[in-house]
Structure 1
Amino acid sequence: MSLEKLKLSKQLVASMTDAGFLTPKEIQAKTMSRILGGQDVIAVGPEGSGKTTTYVLATLMKLKYAFEEAPRALILVPDAEHVAHVLEQFKLLNRNSTFRILGIDSTGSIENQMNEVTDGVDIIVAVPDRARALYLKLALNTNKIQLFIVDNAELIVKKGLQLPVVELANSAYKSQHVVFTEVLHDKLNHMISPFMKDSSVTIEVDELGAGDAEVYPQMLYNVPNFRTKLNLLTVLLNDTETFDKVIIFVNTRLTAQTVYKNFNHINAQEIGIYKPLFFDDAGFDSLDEFMENPDSRILIAANENFTEADLKGIPFIFHFELPEQKETLIQRIIKRDETEDAIAINFSTDIELAEVKKIEQAIGQKMQVMDLPEDLKIVDAAAKPKKKKGEEDEEQSDRGAAFHEKKASNTKNYNYSAGTKAKMTYKKKKGLS
């Protein structure tokens, strides 16, 4: 498909060609005509799929002439780094400097930014909280905005900037709204639903990488919050027959201690922390020490101090939290020996789904999304019920179920596929677990 198919002006086609873009990306081919046609669009695609270039081109095409008294396009991005990146893309493609483009982040003087906005600007690229501050100070006039764009929406939600986005979008109620994101989840839908038109369309592009190395099977449990993760871990590890040698990765040593204390240590030798933070917590100084102990089946390790590269012999690798660098996880799941097999089980909240997408893109395959156990207690993070005096803490009573006698109601009801069960059985027969 040629660039001309995007129905861009000759000037923009020339700018794209000069910049090295010879053919359109899939997300550009699928969304450009809808954006130029005035439809509200939610575009979902991985990092590097061409989302920024898409809306930069659309903005330059839709704003037919320059120099009006108020901005006609407002682009909201998560932080100063993204502001700089978008400005660079405009500089690359707006060759004749047809439009006055202003970048606004939280580091600059608000007084200077007020003066720059009121002096006249066509396109504003801003972080949501500072744009809202300028709007409340009456410096940012949203009455003439034709195109309201939210980029990296999943990061904006992660930073807790939903309120200024919604306020600004509602103030620019006459505009067309376009949202770009790597993932779409409930929290993000909650942010954009107040201003997206009923006629809006969602377009998803899923570009997986080639996957340079063979990796262990990946499973994904999507849960609402940290406390539900703890409950899920308890329910799964209640199956001592299957999960008889497990390593659980978290991000910090403090979190490792939290997960450790979540269990009721009926058998203290069953569980330990890798190089624990506190001397009174049961632990191991090395992975070999854990592997050689026949009574120990669960090791909790923090990414911040876990340096051992070889997980050979551990059939189940849990990522209770996804590491900050995707490469950390990928190195653990690469299959280095044809005789070895393992399964990686990953927990993710909505906020972490963007990291899941990056991992999937890097390894070239999707994670298998698992059904949550029927008896899993989903915790409402906002609810804090009062306890009567002498009443047992219900949350505390849920803890430690991994070391209680198993109940028929929560035994293996997490719906592993036939292939997964076969792999587990194979490991048992081969003595790998």
Structure 2
Amino acid sequence: MSLDKLKLSKQLVAAMTDAGYLTPKEIQTKTLSRIIGGQDIIGIGPEGCGKTTAYVLGVLMRLKYSTEDAPRALILVPDAERVEAVIDQFKLLAKNKSVRVIGLHPQMGQEEQLDLLAEGCDIVVATPDRARSHYLKFALNLNLIQVLVIDDAELLIKKGFQLPITELARSITKCQRLVFSEVIHSKLEKLIEPFMNQPALIEVNLLAENKAETHEQLLYHVPNFRTKQNLLNLLMSDDEIFTKVLVFVNTRYNAQVLYKSLNKRLPGEVVLYKPMFFDQLAVDSVEEFKELPETRILIIANETYESTDIHDVPFIIHFELPLEKETLVGRIVKRSEASTEEILAITFATDLELSMVRKIEQSTGQKMPLADFPPGLIIVGDRQKSEASDSEEEEEEKDTTPTKGAAFHPKKEKNAKTTNYSSKVKAKMKYKK
């Protein structure tokens, strides 16, 4: 498909051609017409699929020439590096347009940013915390905002920017809202629900053309760490199926937490790889673990284990997603196409880890099959936590109520007080008597 199909201005088509963009990407063809038309969009796609270019072109098409000093587009991104990257993309594609773009992030001085806002601009690219700070100081004027873009939404949620995003979005009375993310999950839906107006959900998948030969995989999408623990304990209770298992976490501390949890239920069957303390069952290599007949589960922290060459262990469980996708990919890809090893790689992922799952799927060229929860799994959710806290509060209230013992007894009828007279009334009654 040619760039003409995007219905862009001649200036933007020329700028894209000069920048080397000869054909549009899938997410651009699906979203640009809607962005130009003013519809709210939720764009879901992996890294490198063209999300940034899509909304940059859309914003440039929406904004007409104006002499106003107040910004007309606000773009929220996770960090300073991303701020600079988005500004560079605007400069690349807006060569023939007089558009003023500024960036706001914590690595810049406050006074410098205040001067930039006072001089006037058309587009503000900012981190949510810094944008909110200037808004509360009345330095960032949101009255003329026409387009609000929330980019890399999954990272913004991971960094805990939900509050400033919500405040900024609700402060803009009427505008178009565009949300772009690698994945969509319950936390993202909860964030955008208060301010999105019947958005169109557009999702694209960009998998590698060459499909890698991997071991069989399963994905469990769990809500939180506690549910991961419950799921692992439930699976490991079946010693007939899970005969030898490697469990990977990111830190030695989390390895310690899992060890204590599993060792209570399966004493003597769990061992740690290079633990924090010396009074626990430990091994120095996977080969040593294989030679222990009674030990079924080896817990390994990624920060202490560098090798990815794992074989002859039937089950590999990634309790936490590693920081680098290559770490997990190296464990699930077969050493050779002719390999006959039967290994099942199981991954536990929360909402915040789904973006890493998508990157792994993009690298291997195949999706991880989503597995159903086994019967009997206790899912720990926000509702259960609130119910538990409510019951605790009720118990505390009950405990604070004084209990009547032998020292308490009902008053006699003649001594029972049913009225409360003032001192003036008592004086009159005494005088009459």
Q: Same fold (TM over 0.5)?
A: yes
Match of 1:374 in 2: 375
The 2-side partners of 1:67 and 1:104 are apart by 21
Contact preservation (8 Å) 2:263, 2:270: no
The 2-side partners of 1:266 and 1:17 are apart by 64
1:15-57 C-alpha deviation (Å, 9 max, x unpaired)? 1111111000000000000000000010000000000000111
Contact preservation (8 Å) 1:210, 1:363: no
**Mapping of residues 49-88 of structure 1, within 5 Å:** 49-88=49-88
The 1-side partners of 2:40 and 2:307 are apart by 49
Contact preservation (8 Å) 2:42, 2:179: yes
TM superposition shift of 1:299: 0.3
The 1-side partners of 2:265 and 2:225 are apart by 24
The 1-side partners of 2:189 and 2:266 are apart by 44
Contact preservation (8 Å) 1:67, 1:100: no
Secondary structure of the corresponding residue to residue 24 of structure 1: coil
1:142-168 C-alpha deviation (Å, 9 max, x unpaired)? 110000000000100111101111111
1:235-278 C-alpha deviation (Å, 9 max, x unpaired)? 11111111111000000111101000012446533110111111
Contact preservation (8 Å) 1:67, 1:121: no
Match of 2:399 in 1: none
1:84-124 C-alpha deviation (Å, 9 max, x unpaired)? 11011111111135101001101222232122112200000
The 2-side partners of 1:119 and 1:266 are apart by 66
Match of 2:116 in 1: 116
The 1-side partners of 2:202 and 2:306 are apart by 41
Match of 1:202 in 2: 201
Secondary structure of the corresponding residue to residue 98 of structure 2: coil
Matched, 1:241 2:240: yes
The 2-side partners of 1:232 and 1:41 are apart by 36
One-letter identity of the residue aligned with 2:374: P
CA distance 1:278–1:64, shift in 2 (3 Å): same
Match of 2:138 in 1: 138
Matched, 1:349 2:318: no
The 2-side partners of 1:268 and 1:350 are apart by 32
Identify the range of structure 1 (35-44 vs 111-120) with the bigger mean alpha-carbon deviation: 111-120
Question: Whose Rg is larger?
Answer: 2
The 2-side partners of 1:167 and 1:53 are apart by 26
One-letter identity of the residue aligned with 1:191: L
Match of 1:230 in 2: 229
Identify the range of structure 1 (308-317 vs 98-107) with the bigger mean alpha-carbon deviation: 308-317
The 1-side partners of 2:17 and 2:299 are apart by 52
One-letter identity of the residue aligned with 2:343: A
The 2-side partners of 1:141 and 1:266 are apart by 59
Contact preservation (8 Å) 2:272, 2:282: yes
CA distance 1:18–1:266, shift in 2 (3 Å): closer
The 2-side partners of 1:317 and 1:295 are apart by 18
CA distance 1:336–1:138, shift in 2 (3 Å): same
1:386-418 C-alpha deviation (Å, 9 max, x unpaired)? 4989xxxxxxxxxxxxxxxxxxxxxxxxxxxxx
The 2-side partners of 1:212 and 1:228 are apart by 32
Contact preservation (8 Å) 1:287, 1:308: no
Secondary structure of the corresponding residue to residue 263 of structure 1: helix
The 2-side partners of 1:106 and 1:40 are apart by 29
Match of 2:16 in 1: 16
The 2-side partners of 1:128 and 1:113 are apart by 14
The 2-side partners of 1:336 and 1:366 are apart by 20
One-letter identity of the residue aligned with 1:29: T
CA distance 1:291–1:217, shift in 2 (3 Å): same
The 1-side partners of 2:290 and 2:181 are apart by 42
TM superposition shift of 1:212: 5.5
The 1-side partners of 2:123 and 2:266 are apart by 63
Contact preservation (8 Å) 2:72, 2:144: yes
The 1-side partners of 2:105 and 2:306 are apart by 38
Runs (5+) with no aligned partner, structure 1: 390-433
One-letter identity of the residue aligned with 2:287: D
Match of 1:186 in 2: 186
Contact preservation (8 Å) 2:219, 2:348: yes
Secondary structure of the corresponding residue to residue 177 of structure 2: strand
Runs (5+) with no aligned partner, structure 2: 397-433
Contact preservation (8 Å) 1:318, 1:345: yes
Overall identity of the aligned pairs, in %: 56
Secondary structure of the corresponding residue to residue 138 of structure 2: coil
Match of 1:102 in 2: 102
Match of 1:254 in 2: 253
Secondary structure of the corresponding residue to residue 140 of structure 1: coil
TM-score, normalised to structure 2, is 0.87
1:207-256 C-alpha deviation (Å, 9 max, x unpaired)? 11124531112211011111110001011111111111100000011110
Secondary structure of the corresponding residue to residue 303 of structure 2: coil
